[in-house]
Chain A
Protein backbone atom coordinates (compact mmCIF):
# COMPACT_ATOMS: atom_id res chain seq x y z
CA UNK A 1 0.00 0.00 0.00
CA UNK A 2 1.10 3.53 -0.74
CA UNK A 3 2.04 5.48 2.32
CA UNK A 4 2.00 9.27 2.30
CA UNK A 5 3.15 10.69 5.60
CA UNK A 6 2.69 14.27 6.71
CA UNK A 7 4.90 15.44 9.54
CA UNK A 8 2.17 16.83 11.82
CA UNK A 9 -1.57 16.24 12.26
CA UNK A 10 -2.04 19.51 14.13
CA UNK A 11 0.09 22.63 14.15
CA UNK A 12 -0.34 26.04 15.77
CA UNK A 13 1.82 28.95 14.65
CA UNK A 14 1.85 32.70 15.02
CA UNK A 15 1.31 35.38 12.39
CA UNK A 16 4.53 36.23 10.57
CA UNK A 17 6.28 32.96 11.33
CA UNK A 18 7.87 30.88 8.60
CA UNK A 19 6.11 27.51 8.59
CA UNK A 20 7.31 24.25 7.06
CA UNK A 21 4.95 21.37 6.27
CA UNK A 22 6.67 18.15 5.29
CA UNK A 23 5.39 15.25 3.22
CA UNK A 24 7.07 11.94 2.44
CA UNK A 25 5.87 9.14 0.17
CA UNK A 26 7.29 5.64 0.00
CA UNK A 27 6.17 4.44 -3.44
CA UNK A 28 8.65 6.18 -5.74
CA UNK A 29 5.89 8.35 -7.23
CA UNK A 30 6.97 11.04 -9.66
CA UNK A 31 4.14 13.46 -8.88
CA UNK A 32 3.50 15.16 -5.58
CA UNK A 33 0.86 17.76 -4.70
CA UNK A 34 -0.10 20.18 -1.97
CA UNK A 35 -3.77 21.11 -1.46
CA UNK A 36 -5.67 23.08 1.07
CA UNK A 37 -9.21 22.13 2.02
CA UNK A 38 -11.65 24.64 3.45
CA UNK A 39 -15.38 24.20 4.18
CA UNK A 40 -17.43 25.08 1.13
CA UNK A 41 -14.38 25.53 -1.09
CA UNK A 42 -13.37 21.92 -1.64
CA UNK A 43 -9.83 20.90 -2.53
CA UNK A 44 -7.68 23.65 -4.01
CA UNK A 45 -4.27 22.95 -5.50
CA UNK A 46 -1.43 25.08 -4.15
CA UNK A 47 1.60 23.58 -5.91
CA UNK A 48 2.48 20.50 -7.87
CA UNK A 49 5.82 18.82 -8.59
CA UNK A 50 6.37 16.26 -11.34
CA UNK A 51 10.06 15.63 -10.70
CA UNK A 52 12.86 16.51 -8.34
CA UNK A 53 13.48 20.26 -8.29
CA UNK A 54 10.50 20.81 -10.63
CA UNK A 55 7.39 22.68 -9.53
CA UNK A 56 4.28 24.18 -11.01
CA UNK A 57 1.93 26.72 -9.46
CA UNK A 58 -1.58 25.56 -8.77
CA UNK A 59 -4.71 27.61 -8.28
CA UNK A 60 -3.66 29.44 -5.11
CA UNK A 61 0.15 29.68 -4.85
CA UNK A 62 0.28 33.18 -3.32
CA UNK A 63 1.96 33.20 0.08
CA UNK A 64 3.39 29.71 -0.39
CA UNK A 65 6.51 28.13 -1.81
CA UNK A 66 7.63 24.52 -2.17
CA UNK A 67 10.78 22.48 -2.22
CA UNK A 68 11.49 19.07 -3.72
CA UNK A 69 15.13 18.18 -3.26
CA UNK A 70 14.50 14.42 -3.13
CA UNK A 71 11.93 12.37 -5.01
CA UNK A 72 10.18 11.12 -1.88
CA UNK A 73 9.86 14.45 -0.08
CA UNK A 74 7.80 17.53 -0.91
CA UNK A 75 7.78 20.47 1.46
CA UNK A 76 5.29 23.32 1.63
CA UNK A 77 6.55 26.61 3.05
CA UNK A 78 4.47 29.49 4.32
CA UNK A 79 6.92 32.35 4.00
CA UNK A 80 5.17 34.63 6.51
CA UNK A 81 2.11 32.97 7.97
CA UNK A 82 -1.15 34.88 8.05
CA UNK A 83 -4.48 34.09 9.69
CA UNK A 84 -6.13 33.45 6.31
CA UNK A 85 -3.79 30.49 5.88
CA UNK A 86 -5.49 28.66 8.73
CA UNK A 87 -6.72 25.51 6.99
CA UNK A 88 -6.40 21.76 6.47
CA UNK A 89 -3.38 21.01 4.27
CA UNK A 90 -3.30 17.77 2.31
CA UNK A 91 -0.33 16.25 0.53
CA UNK A 92 -0.81 13.70 -2.24
CA UNK A 93 1.33 11.66 -4.62
CA UNK A 94 0.72 9.76 -7.83
CA UNK A 95 2.49 7.81 -10.52
CA UNK A 96 3.09 9.53 -13.81
CA UNK A 97 2.10 8.02 -17.16
CA UNK A 98 4.28 10.62 -18.86
CA UNK A 99 6.31 13.66 -17.80
CA UNK A 100 3.91 16.08 -16.17
CA UNK A 101 0.94 13.77 -16.65
CA UNK A 102 -1.50 13.71 -13.73
CA UNK A 103 -4.12 11.23 -14.91
CA UNK A 104 -3.23 8.55 -12.36
CA UNK A 105 -5.03 8.18 -9.02
CA UNK A 106 -3.72 10.27 -6.16
CA UNK A 107 -2.88 8.97 -2.70
CA UNK A 108 -3.36 11.39 0.15
CA UNK A 109 -1.73 11.83 3.52
CA UNK A 110 -3.74 12.24 6.71
CA UNK A 111 -3.54 16.03 6.49
CA UNK A 112 -2.18 18.78 8.72
CA UNK A 113 -4.67 21.04 10.43
CA UNK A 114 -2.79 24.34 10.69
CA UNK A 115 -3.94 27.21 12.85
CA UNK A 116 -2.34 30.62 12.57
CA UNK A 117 -2.94 32.85 15.58
Chain B
Protein backbone atom coordinates (compact mmCIF):
# COMPACT_ATOMS: atom_id res chain seq x y z
CA UNK B 1 0.00 0.00 0.00
CA UNK B 2 0.91 3.62 -0.20
CA UNK B 3 3.52 4.79 2.23
CA UNK B 4 4.95 8.17 2.97
CA UNK B 5 8.67 8.31 3.63
CA UNK B 6 10.03 11.09 5.78
CA UNK B 7 13.59 12.36 5.98
CA UNK B 8 15.63 13.02 7.96
CA UNK B 9 14.64 10.93 10.98
CA UNK B 10 16.52 13.28 13.30
CA UNK B 11 17.42 16.95 12.94
CA UNK B 12 19.73 18.68 15.41
CA UNK B 13 19.57 22.41 14.84
CA UNK B 14 21.42 25.37 16.29
CA UNK B 15 18.97 27.95 17.61
CA UNK B 16 18.44 30.60 14.97
CA UNK B 17 19.25 28.36 12.02
CA UNK B 18 16.86 27.11 9.35
CA UNK B 19 16.04 23.51 8.45
CA UNK B 20 13.79 21.51 6.18
CA UNK B 21 12.10 18.14 6.56
CA UNK B 22 10.81 16.19 3.56
CA UNK B 23 7.98 13.80 2.89
CA UNK B 24 7.91 11.59 -0.21
CA UNK B 25 5.45 9.16 -1.75
CA UNK B 26 5.66 6.85 -4.76
CA UNK B 27 2.01 7.59 -5.60
CA UNK B 28 0.02 10.76 -6.15
CA UNK B 29 -1.54 12.08 -2.97
CA UNK B 30 -5.00 13.62 -2.67
CA UNK B 31 -3.70 15.81 0.13
CA UNK B 32 -0.91 15.96 2.67
CA UNK B 33 -1.25 16.87 6.32
CA UNK B 34 1.41 17.91 8.81
CA UNK B 35 1.31 17.29 12.55
CA UNK B 36 3.59 18.24 15.44
CA UNK B 37 4.07 16.20 18.59
CA UNK B 38 5.86 17.86 21.49
CA UNK B 39 7.85 15.60 23.86
CA UNK B 40 5.35 13.86 26.14
CA UNK B 41 2.43 15.20 24.13
CA UNK B 42 0.11 14.04 21.40
CA UNK B 43 0.13 14.84 17.66
CA UNK B 44 -1.45 18.19 16.87
CA UNK B 45 -2.66 19.05 13.39
CA UNK B 46 -0.73 21.93 11.81
CA UNK B 47 -1.88 22.24 8.21
CA UNK B 48 -3.35 20.51 5.17
CA UNK B 49 -2.20 21.00 1.58
CA UNK B 50 -4.48 20.01 -1.28
CA UNK B 51 -3.45 21.74 -4.49
CA UNK B 52 -0.47 20.97 -6.69
CA UNK B 53 2.38 23.38 -5.91
CA UNK B 54 0.54 24.84 -2.93
CA UNK B 55 2.56 26.86 -0.43
CA UNK B 56 1.25 27.83 2.98
CA UNK B 57 2.93 29.74 5.79
CA UNK B 58 2.40 29.78 9.52
CA UNK B 59 4.74 32.37 11.02
CA UNK B 60 8.22 30.81 10.66
CA UNK B 61 6.89 27.56 9.15
CA UNK B 62 6.53 27.17 5.39
CA UNK B 63 4.75 24.14 3.98
CA UNK B 64 4.94 23.14 0.33
CA UNK B 65 3.16 20.52 -1.78
CA UNK B 66 5.02 19.32 -4.87
CA UNK B 67 3.82 19.96 -8.38
CA UNK B 68 3.24 16.25 -8.94
CA UNK B 69 1.59 15.90 -5.50
CA UNK B 70 4.05 13.18 -4.55
CA UNK B 71 6.15 15.11 -2.08
CA UNK B 72 5.95 17.83 0.51
CA UNK B 73 8.30 19.81 2.66
CA UNK B 74 8.25 21.77 5.90
CA UNK B 75 10.80 24.55 6.24
CA UNK B 76 11.38 26.29 9.56
CA UNK B 77 13.30 29.53 9.67
CA UNK B 78 15.16 30.94 12.69
CA UNK B 79 14.57 27.83 14.78
CA UNK B 80 13.53 28.41 18.39
CA UNK B 81 13.45 26.09 21.39
CA UNK B 82 9.67 25.99 21.03
CA UNK B 83 10.14 24.14 17.74
CA UNK B 84 11.38 21.04 19.57
CA UNK B 85 9.31 17.94 18.85
CA UNK B 86 8.50 15.41 16.16
CA UNK B 87 6.94 16.53 12.90
CA UNK B 88 4.85 14.02 11.00
CA UNK B 89 3.45 14.15 7.53
CA UNK B 90 0.35 12.08 6.76
CA UNK B 91 -1.65 11.26 3.66
CA UNK B 92 -5.01 9.52 3.10
CA UNK B 93 -4.66 5.92 1.95
CA UNK B 94 -7.97 4.12 1.43
CA UNK B 95 -9.63 4.01 4.83
CA UNK B 96 -6.74 5.33 6.84
CA UNK B 97 -4.25 8.14 7.19
CA UNK B 98 -0.71 6.90 6.53
CA UNK B 99 1.77 8.65 8.80
CA UNK B 100 5.41 9.10 8.03
CA UNK B 101 7.91 7.98 10.66
CA UNK B 102 8.46 11.59 11.69
CA UNK B 103 11.41 13.96 11.98
CA UNK B 104 12.47 14.52 15.57
CA UNK B 105 13.91 17.99 16.07
CA UNK B 106 16.24 19.02 18.87
CA UNK B 107 17.56 22.54 19.30
CA UNK B 108 20.95 23.63 20.63
CA UNK B 109 20.70 26.92 22.47
A binds B: yes
Name A's B-contacting residues (CB within 8 A). Answer: 33, 42-43, 45, 48, 50, 56, 58-59, 90, 92, 100-103, 105-111
Contact code string B1-45 (vs A, CB < 8 Å = 1, else 0): 000000000000000000000000000001101000000011111
Give the size category of B's interface with A.
10 to 19
Q: Is the CB of B95 within 8 A of A106?
A: no
**Once the chains are docked, how many angstroms separate the CA of A3 from the CA of B96?**
21
A-B contact pairs, 21 of them (CB 8 A): A33-B97, A42-B101, A43-B99, A45-B96, A45-B97, A48-B95, A48-B96, A56-B95, A90-B43, A92-B43, A102-B92, A102-B96, A102-B97, A103-B92, A105-B45, A105-B48, A106-B33, A106-B43, A106-B97, A108-B43, A109-B42
**Once the chains are docked, how many angstroms separate the CA of A103 from the CA of B88?**
15
Shortest beta-carbon distance, A57 to chain B, in Å?
A: 9
